[in-house]
Amino acid sequence: MNNISFEIQKGEIVGFIGPNGAGKSTTMKILTGFLASDSGNAYINGLNVRDHNLKIKSLIGYLPENNPLYPEMYVREYLEYVLNMYAGSASEDLKMNSLSVDKVIELTGLGREQHKKIEALSKGYRQRVGLAQAIIHNPDVLILDEPTSGLDPGQIIEIRNLIMALGKDKTILLSTHLMQEVKAICSRVIMINKGEILADGSAEEISLAQESVVTVILELDKITDPEKINAIPGVIQFKKLTENKLLVESGSGTDIRPLLFNYAVENNLTILSLQKQEKSLEEVFGELIISTPLNNL
């Protein structure tokens, strides 16, 4: 890791994204106390992970990437076992706030599978069991490494809704390779590569920050003298897409839509559509990863 630093507040759902080997899982293991850091400090609820390792584990719900389970146990039996482990060494506050096994089974949609052995479950349902054990003690912080891995589209939506509901009063850090998941549920995105944070903000903020060239599609009722568009301040080039449609590019992140509107008014033209083309999070991610200097390795 390269001295990364970030802070997440209660009620935030933060997407932690990066290519394989970027340092996501390592960071998560350090935060949970499963891996000791060589230097620096990590804090959960103001407590140093290194100094309060056992207490931290009671505050965190953790779903690791490889989702280790006891395959020979039944689903309900396993969740009761996990809850009893927390209850056996927990404070009275934690015991009172823990969720019941029935409630967790309901939340994660494991009702029909609760009396099956874990080894008999599909990958998607095993993932649900992993998420169930992560929330059963009702932790303040959830750290989820690829929580929707192996789920079908319907299951993804169900788990997405559950994470969003949990995020209202918890702190959630999740890693995923699914950009649509990040855009759907995360209020903030942290992009990491080679142990270094490349971007930190909302998906919209990150996309806008990377837009040195702004592209606008302008459709008019007619085009009389398109060369006049070159005279508009900020325009670097334009291209005719159809007889009445233009692609216009401006530099330095300038949004030229107001100027294009004025151009149409001054030339007695009717605007049929005026649309700014936004960069997708996938495109921004790809550009940032490609531009990461090799000397950061």
Q: What CA–CA distance (Å, rounded) separates 8 from 171?
A: 7
98 or 106, higher pLDDT: 106
How many percent of the chain have pLDDT more than 70?
Answer: 86
Task: Give the model confidence (pLDDT) of 137-164 as tens digits.
Answer: 999 999 999 888 878 888 888 888 889 9
Nearest to 110 by CA among 74, 137, 146, 84: 74
Domains, the chain, in order of start with CATH, read: 13-207 (3.40.50.300), 211-278 (3.30.70)
Distances (CA, A) of 33 to 105, 173, 181, 259: 27, 15, 26, 55
SS3 171: strand
pTM over 0.85: no
Q: What is the pLDDT of residues 159-203, one digit of tens each?
A: 888 899 888 889 999 998 878 888 889 999 998 888 888 888 887
- How far is the C-alpha of 142 from the C-alpha of 126, rounded, in Å? 18
pLDDT digits (tens, 9 = 90+) for 127-136: 999 999 999 9
Spatial contact of 98 and 140, defined as CB atoms under 8 Å apart: no
Tokens linked to 70: 């006891």
Long-range pairs for 273-276: beta carbons < 8 A, 24 or more residues apart: 273/217, 273/218, 273/219, 274/216, 274/217, 274/218, 274/219, 275/216, 275/217, 276/214, 276/215, 276/216
pLDDT digits 0-9 by tens, 23-55: 888 899 999 988 888 888 999 999 999 999 888
